[in-house]
Structure 1
């Protein structure tokens, strides 16, 4: 005589899969926290003046167009030549644009995603920084957006010191921190 097979209710399967997913995510989070962490750096290019600040050009009150070839959708756009960042929403509209002080090591133009983020730390120039948003490594140097806690512009770097911090004013750093969550696209253009 055959005994009919009993099927488990769907809620049992869903509960089991949810529990397994939570265990996997917790394991990965603990493992990532114990791994090597990038160090933040935020200094200008050697050619930058120590007193230089992002200055308002005559047309700074006018919106600056997002560079062509920077992709589509929600993203952070960083122009190496213009030393400018745009925060672009999903409809391809620029929500904010501002000048920045780049480090001595530039990222290669291309597409990246925001990875690690840190609320604060010390830049390679010894300045306390915050809103640190890492998105790539170039020539062995971590590249990240950040701002000085005291709002200052970065001092000139020591000769030959590679720095990858892209420093900005505090209000702009707050905006990048809120906008640039993990996985956010970053487009670097010339």
Structure 2
């Protein structure tokens, strides 16, 4: 199974987020799945990929040219697919992924997650989406989703399109169910 993981490339965030990223990288490797991710060794992406490598995991980084050109970017150039734009990067990850995991991240991570959910809403993707809410990171987003349903901006049936979890162990159980 190809599992796309979306997360922060920032090195300035709290250690608790790095710990969970490492656990996810290890879990994907130990389960024999392929990690799809943003292609850098920076921030949570780096922790995720390095831990995946440490446990013999397979990985494919998908990166856009503008990110390669940014100063200070450390690339995983061993297994890297390069595309022209962020939109093409999202499309390639969706094309390759059997499941999507969203770790804590900023605007880019949120953009990727919302794009996947929008694709699911119109039937362009059937792959499951899981938000790992480390230390309640996605609690506010989960509340916003509930408001969508309460105020009829989304149909109740869409609740099955994604999962919010709090621990990596829950992710391992869900991935086993997705097979």
Same topology, TM > 0.5: no
TM score, norm. by length of structure 2: 0.25
- Scaled by the length of structure 1, the TM-score of the pair is 0.24
Tell which structure's C-alpha radius of gyration is larger: 1
Structure scoring higher RCO (CA < 8 A, sep ≥ 6) equals 1
Larger proportion of helix: 2
Of Structure 1 and Structure 2, the greater strand share is in 1
